[in-house]
Structure 1
Amino acid sequence: MTGTALIPTPGRPAQNLRVRVIPMLLIDRNGRLVKTVKFGKRTYIGDPINAVRIFNTKAVDELVLIDIDASADGREPAYDHIAEIASEAFMPVAYGGGLNTMDQIACTIDCGVEKVILSGVLAQGTDLIETAAKRWGGQAVTVCLPVGRNWRGRQQVRLAQGKKPMKDDLDTVVTRVTDAGAGEIIIYAIAHDGTWGGYDTDLCAQVARATSLPVVACGGAGAPEHFRAATDAGCAAVAAGSMFIYRAKGQGVLINYPSKVQLDAYFS
């Protein structure tokens, strides 16, 4: 469904890999589809199920669905809503938000999602990642690392909607996630979120060098050339929100996704 590109992943031989292009849908505590800018300002978009139905007609590889308020609210995932969305999707769905126990992960997978995305639980270590990977396999466990710069200008993982920095340096966190058995890492550049200015390719390259796992770039996509820049930096896949939700920057909502011909052209 998508094109292929020669991806020169830093530290590993170049391989002819299939590039996944993934819409990311953010939902709030009320189950509404929203879009954020730098993990701050939110814009209401509409009903996520309507978006999923449109993506069904676009031959989308997979969807990422994240409840951005679940962990902050201290609540479990909204299982009924997840199940409703997953039942409408013709493509694999990965879900993240409010996942802190094996029971919660099991309930979420029972809702019909193919992957769970763990993030906030990293504040307690990587035990849940390791246990979940052993039970369902690494391919079912994705870790999302929101990353921003500290006052010294160094990249660091920042949990809790970007408000809680981890003490360990970025490379150490990536290594621990890799060793715990996760199947892939989403690297979410906070400062680039919703800006349309392109991915943080330096960050992408740093993480790709630090892990053997597939890395998914997220945060900042606004043009097709940004996809290629991310894969050239070592990412195996790209995720985007604004670009697939709006007609263009500063314009109205228009759920969209590139055609196979367009994707082939992006990565040729």
Structure 2
Amino acid sequence: MSNLRLIPRLDIKGPNLIKGIHLEGLRVVGDPQEYAVRYAEAGADELLYVDIVASLYGRNNLSDIIRRAADRVFVPITVAGGIRSIDDARHILRSGADKVAINTAAVLRPELIREVSRRFGSQAMVLSIEAKEQAPGKWEAYTDNGRERTGLDVVEWAVRGVELGAGEVLVTSVDREGTRKGFDIDLIRQISEAVSVPVIASGGMGKVEHMVDAAKLGKADAIAMADVLHYNRLTIDDIRSAALAADLPVRKVTFGK
């Protein structure tokens, strides 16, 4: 079993790091650069940047933020939001990102998944899915920060995205996001069991037990977290220690000499 990855999620609006509940009700947290450096130095395995207003402008505006981060942060960076084309993906990757996560444009034109995967490698193509529960055990994929319905069944869409070349699936539970009530374990588990690539669980982490449940019961390969870190409810070291105590494999981090 590969290591469980711990991934701080940085939702960005303009120059600011923000946080909301159910992807709405956004509050400014601070300077994303300061938080990114702090998390990387604290032992984060990767960083996930999400341009949460990209759909309003029709493009991703994070290239300057990513370029500055890449100079000081030496962990893999994934960028999501407003990536609509091969050119958009190339621009973000050249800015210093290692992966692009695509939601809306992939729903509108699934072939984009194959194009990005072939051009930059499947490891650089992350299918991002925003899921809302419609009935027990059934979720619909949404776009535009959980505002627009797609009519797509989440699990079926994840399977199709992987068939087209996605090397990872980032699944955000809109129902749980920002609530600190825990991940949607059934959602994560269904996707994890349906696809052969890593699944990143996002939306709902409030305590270390939620991470353990997502990994053990949901079979997640990586955990994305925001609120618990931004507001100092937990540190990455707290989370890593809890993972080790639960016999979950995580990267060992040593600081200093």
- Tell me the TM-score normalised to structure 2 length: 0.90
Q: 2:245 aligned with 1:265, yes or no?
A: yes
Per mean C-alpha deviation after superposition, the further-off stretch among 118-127 and 42-51 is 118-127
User: Which consecutive unaligned segments of at least 5 residues does structure 2 have?
Assistant: 249-257
Contact 2:79 2:97 (8 Å CA) reproduced: yes
Equivalent position to 1:247, from 227, 232, 248:
232
> 1: CA distance between counterparts of 2:67 and 2:48?
14
Offset, 1:257: 1.5
Q: Does the 8 A contact of 1:227 with 1:266 survive in 2?
A: no
1:181-200 aligned within 5 A: 181-200=165-184
Distance 1:135 1:46 in 2: 35
Q: Distance in 2 between matches of 1:173 and 1:105?
A: 21
Cα deviation code 1:55-110 (max 9, x no counterpart): 23212111001110012222343322221122221211111111001111111110
Structure 1 counterpart SS, 2:83? coil
Displacement after TM superposition at 1:127 (Å) = 1.1
1:235 maps onto 2:215 in alignment: no
Once the two structures are TM-superposed, the CA of residue 158 in structure 1 deviates from its matched residue by: 0.6
Q: Which amino acid aligns with 1:230?
A: A
Q: CA deviation at 1:235?
A: 1.1
1:4 matched residue in structure 2: none
Superposed counterparts of 1:95-174, under 5 Å? 95-150=79-134, 154-174=138-158
SS of the equivalent of 1:147 reads strand
Q: Could you list the per-position Cα deviations for residues 114-146 of structure 1 after superposition, in whole angstroms to 9, with x for gaps in the alignment?
A: 111111112313111101101111111111100
CA shift in 2, pair 1:261/1:99, >3 Å: same
In structure 1, stretches of 5+ residues that fail to align are 1-15, 249-253
Give the 3 Å change call, closer, same or farther, for CA 263–168 of structure 1 in structure 2. closer
Is the alpha carbon distance of 1:209 and 1:76 closer, same or farther for their aligned partners in structure 2, counting shifts above 3 Å? same
Are 2:45 and 1:61 aligned? Answer: yes
Query: Partner of 1:251 in structure 2?
Result: none
Of 168, 171, 178, 2:162 maps to 178
Q: Give the structure-1-normalised TM-score.
A: 0.86
- What amino acid does structure 2 have at the position aligned with 1:220? G
Q: Post-superposition, which runs of at least 4 consecutive aligned residues in structure 1 deviate over 6 A?
A: none
Greater Cα offset, 41-50 or 166-175: 166-175
Distance 1:210 1:64 in 2: 23
3-state SS of the aligned residue for 1:198? coil
SS at match of 2:211: helix
Query: Could you tell me how far 1:213 is from its partner in structure 2?
Result: 1.4
In the alignment, structure 1 residue 26 sits paired with structure 2 residue 8: no
**Is the CA contact (8 Å cut-off) linking 1:143 and 1:177 kept in structure 2?**
yes
Alpha-carbon distance between aligned partners in 1 of 2:247 and 2:181, rounded to the nearest angstrom: 19
SS at match of 1:17: coil
Equivalent pairs counted in the alignment come to 246
Identical aligned residues as a percent: 27
Matched letter for residue 27 of structure 1 = I
- Separation in 2 of the partners of 1:69 and 1:266? 37
The 8 Å contact of residues 224 and 266 in structure 1, kept in 2 or not, is answered as no
For residues 14-61 of structure 1, give each alpha carbon's deviation from its aligned partner in whole angstroms, at most 9, with x where no partner exists: xx2211011101001x22000110111111100000101212321211
